[in-house]
Amino acid sequence: MVIVMKQSTTEKQIEVVIKKLVSQGFDVHRSTGVEHTILGAVGAQVVDTRDYELLDGVKEVHRITEPYKLASRAFRPEGSIIEIDGVKIGGEEVIIMAGPCTVESYEQCDIIAERIKAAGAKIMRGGAFKPRTSPYSFQGLGVEGLKLIRKAADKHGLLVISEIMESGQLPLAEDYIDIMQVGTRNMQNYGLLRDVGRTDTPVLLKRGMSATLSDLLLAAEYIMSAGNHRVILCERGIRTFEMHTRSTLDISAIPVIHQLSHLPIIVDPSHAVGIRDKVAPLARAAVAAGADGLLIEAHHDPDNALCDGAQSLKLEQFDKLMEELRLIAGAVGRSIAEASVRVAG
Ligand code: PEP
Ligand code: MN
């Protein structure tokens, strides 16, 4: 149930409503929007909504019929903007996150960070803990990798997104990571979801490769119901019968998630298609369809990358794509940060 308080409501009136909800066994999540305070009441109880409509200061009461409550659009109809050090995800600006699949060395991070920053990216990606399909593949540099990406990102004024695979890695986030990524393979690792939900660090939750959008939103609900409401969703392609691409990018997920949920949704075209020269068309389509951001693999020497080189853009391809994305964003009422140096060609 969602209770929208009137603009003129007093703190005392809000407290009365919260007290009543708690006495009826609800968990209450308070959210202060631009205009209204909204109380999300989560619980199995069926109550007469009129009991709340009659309370002083209450504007309206809605039942949320979806199984996800805190993630549903009704909980925050105006949409959520997740702000991290001045970078706003879910607002008018389309936020670009880019970088290598995996951290390999400081020099690698430094070269890539400089270029993506100049092209207009705001956030650097790079895995230190890698969820590899084979246990014999490179598993990432671990904490050392986090230190390297942090240092390069700080030098060039970028935020860091990196994957957390186990709850034991969570304390590292505080020192090195601005956005914790929960990967496709862990989308239904409910223990991990609850544990990231107990932190204050924003979370990028990737759609499981066989997950429905309801599954994705219920996974977000695990994180939010544990207290952390700063969740960004990510469509990264799903498993279908199509074999020409690594996964199938579900473009329709973007407008459907925007309808169902107030959470921002970004797109990872790199893992979706898995082929370098197909990444740009999908990235352009995602921005045209309303994505709030993109997560793109880019590498200064992709042919020799330790992981996912075949789907990583060369840096000059990334520069060119950013120019194209800027035009598309403008055409759909959005924007992308300007490049700080003029890109040749
Ligand atoms: C990644 O982004 O590094 C990654 C492993 O992606 P996914 O979880 O989507 O496979
Ligand atoms: Mn990768």
Encode pLDDT of 194-249 as tens digits: 999 999 999 999 999 999 999 999 999 999 999 999 999 999 999 999 999 999 99
Alpha-helical regions (H) of 75-142: 106-119
**Model-wide pTM > 0.85:** yes
The length of the chain in residues reads 345
pLDDT of residue 341: 63
**Ligand 1 atom showing the smallest separation from residue 308 Cα:** 3
Q: Is the pLDDT of residue 345 over 60?
A: no
Residue partners of 335: CB distance under 8 A and separation at least 6: 92, 93, 94, 326, 329
Taking CA atoms only, the protein residue closest to ligand 1 atom 8 is 183
Query: pLDDT band for position 344 (50/70/90)?
Result: low
Going from the Cα of 24 to the center of ligand 1, the distance in angstroms, rounded, reads 42
- The verdict on the CB of residue 183 being under 6 Å from ligand 1 is yes
Report the alpha-carbon distance of residue 287 to residue 237 in Å, rounded: 15
Q: Is the pLDDT of residue 15 over 70?
A: yes
- The verdict on the CB of residue 206 being under 6 Å from ligand 1 is yes
Going from the Cα of 48 to the center of ligand 2, the distance in angstroms, rounded, reads 50
Taking CA atoms only, the protein residue closest to ligand 1 atom 9 is 184
Per-chain mean pLDDT for the chain: 96
- The verdict on the CB of residue 127 being under 6 Å from ligand 1 is yes
Q: Is the pLDDT of residue 151 over 90?
A: yes
What does the radius of gyration of the chain's CA atoms come to, in whole angstroms?
A: 21
Give CATH for domain 2-63.
3.30.70.1140
Same fold, 2-63 and 82-331: no
CB 112 within 8 A of CB 149: no
Q: Is the pLDDT of residue 44 over 80?
A: no
Going from the Cα of 8 to the center of ligand 2, the distance in angstroms, rounded, reads 50
pLDDT of residue 297: 98
CA–CA distance from 129 to each of 181, 188, 274, 301 (Å)? 11, 18, 20, 21
The pLDDT tens digits of the residues spanning 277-305 come to 999 999 999 999 999 999 999 999 999 99
Q: Quick one: fold of 82-331?
A: TIM Barrel (3.20.20)
Report the alpha-carbon distance of residue 262 to residue 75 in Å, rounded: 7
**Ligand 1 atom showing the smallest separation from residue 127 Cα:** 3
**Ligand 1 atom showing the smallest separation from residue 234 Cα:** 9
- The verdict on the CB of residue 271 being under 6 Å from ligand 1 is yes
pLDDT of residue 43: 84
Report the alpha-carbon distance of residue 196 to residue 214 in Å, rounded: 20
Domain boundaries, the chain: 2-63, 82-331
Taking CA atoms only, the protein residue closest to ligand 1 atom 10 is 184
Going from the Cα of 184 to the center of ligand 1, the distance in angstroms, rounded, reads 6
Strands 123-125 and 95-99 come out as parallel
- The verdict on the CB of residue 207 being under 6 Å from ligand 1 is no
SS3 content of the chain, % helix, strand, coil (to 5): 40, 20, 40
CB 215 within 8 A of CB 208: yes
Dihedral, CA of residue 117, residue 120, residue 122 and residue 124, to nearest 10: -50
